[in-house]
Amino acid sequence: MLVEHRDGNHRYILEQHGTESAIPPRDNASKNANGSMRRLREVFDYQNQDWKDWAREKSYGLRWLGTKGIFSAVKRIFGEKPLTKTVKNMCKEIKRRFWAYEKMKNYAKTKILANQFL
């Protein structure tokens, strides 16, 4: 993953943290390095393996249970874009959205449980 910092320097975050990438390149991806030997290796690995073998090796397609549903629910209720301008306040706003979602979910559970015992 390429990230541009304010000073204009580029850093490859995956390499910096030793993280495995699990995003398949296109079938016709270029075999030129274009500044990233890591990407070149990933393209060769992908193109020289069967899809099932590559997916199994990279654990492709596995997600934490419920992650997709939770993110979809939060975006559906509160909107997709944060309203604040600074990154610091965006993080706070998004944390509040997830906090509020949890509160609403817990409230709904208690109401359902209360109605079951009536």
pLDDT tens column, 43-99: 888 888 888 888 888 888 776 667 778 888 899 999 988 999 999 999 999 999 999
Half-sphere exposure of 107 (CA within 13 A, CB side): 6
pLDDT band per the 50, 70, 90 thresholds, residue 35: low
Is 60:24 a contact under the CB 8 Å cutoff? yes
Please, which residues have CB within 8 angstroms of residue 24's CB and are 6 or more apart in sequence? 46, 54, 60
